[in-house]
Copies of this chain bind each other. A is one copy, B any other.
Amino acid sequence: MLGYQKNIAASQLRTGRVKVVGVLVPSLVDTFFAALVSDLEEMAEADGYQVLVATSGDDAAREAAQLDALLGWKPSGLIAVPCTNAIPEALRREMATLPIVLVDRIGEEDLPVDTVVVDNHAAGREAARHVLEMGHREILVAASVAGLRPIADRIRGIIDACHAEAVTPRIAELGTDVEDGAARMAACLAREGHPTAVIAMTNVTTLATLTALAQSGIDVPGDVSLVGFDDYAWMTARKTPLSAVRQPISNIAQSAWSCLMARIGGSRDEPVRLTLDAPLQRRNSVCAPRTVPGAA
């Protein structure tokens, strides 16, 4: 019944440091980031750290503002998912002095900080190969923002795989909002007719595609096959569970966290560049196209 708790501000003012790490993500509504933050928070708590969460809403200006706010707390470290390929100036400035781990969206190489990413090229390639093997030749890629590094990498992986079979995938840009994306997808479908397979590049575009497909009365996988991205409960809560590329979220979180802890612990090693595998989960949303293309 002591009821005493120390004043963190006073403590941090005196010592200059404080057991807090900032976490900056584009959005908490996107389950990918929510899960990431959740995992990080759990590990932080286990290590006696407090997490300061900030979201950029995929807006560079807000990102910069949030970053400043975060930095004002003088955290012992920072884990960030930048919202564009460009590293915010404030972040770049801190790289020299503050332990920082960049995750998922890394636009440039040779950054002087640890990075944890997914092998997006391989992920795209595997997804494409899967639908290719099933005989699909009319493939539509549902991208969020094609310019974003991870998306671009996934698309390149798809294109590389398709190239080997002499097929050229179409690419639709759906944005980061489900409803808006569904509308764009529906428009695309109406305009150009539907392909035999869709590969979605994020969980949001997967949702958008599914919505558009459902609204247009197009059956999955009867009319079009679908490979999703990310792996969530709702994907398997359906009559035909979705095949999808599963991003190893807890691995990502763990890796990022241990990198950060090592840096905070004083490690001055070379920056580590982790690339994690995102394996394809084969389920039932991909099957042979209805009109099998005649043999060559």
Contact = CB atoms under 8 A, between A and B. Distances in A.
Contacts of A232: 234
Most buried by B among A7, A73, A208, A237: A237
A90 to B, nearest CB: 9
A8 B73 contact: yes
Contacts of A57: 42
Q: How large is the interface on A (under 10, 10 to 19, 20 to 34, 35 or more residues)?
A: 35 or more
Given A28-B28, A38-B27, A233 B207 contact: yes
A236 B211 contact: yes
Contacts of A179: 233
Interface in A202-249: 207-208, 210-211, 214, 219, 232-234, 236-239, 241
Interface stretch (A29-37, A115-123, A163-171, A287-295): A29-37
A272 interface: no
A45 B29 contact: no
A27 B6 CA distance: 26
Most buried by B among A27, A28, A219: A28
A237 B211 contact: yes
Contact of A45 (B13, B62, B219): B62
Interface stretch (A48-56, A77-85, A101-109, A253-261): A48-56
Contact of A234 (B8, B42, B207): B207
Copies of this chain in its oligomeric complex: 2
Interface string A1-38: 00101111110110000100000000111010011011
A43 interface: no
Interface in A149-193: 178-179, 182
Contact of A41 (B35, B55, B234): B55
A267 B234 CA distance: 43
A34 B55 CA distance: 12
A49 to B, nearest CB: 10
A35 B45 contact: no
A268 interface: no
A25 to B, nearest CB: 10
Contacts of A210: 234, 237-238
Contacts of A237: 178, 182, 207-208, 210-211, 214
B8 A10 contact: no
Given A211-B236, A238-B214, A72 B6 contact: yes
A71 B214 contact: no
A178 B234 CA distance: 10
A129 B207 CA distance: 30
Given A50-B69, A207-B234, 10 more contacts: A9-B10, A9-B18, A38-B55, A41-B54, A50-B54, A210-B237, A211-B233, A211-B236, A214-B236, A238-B238
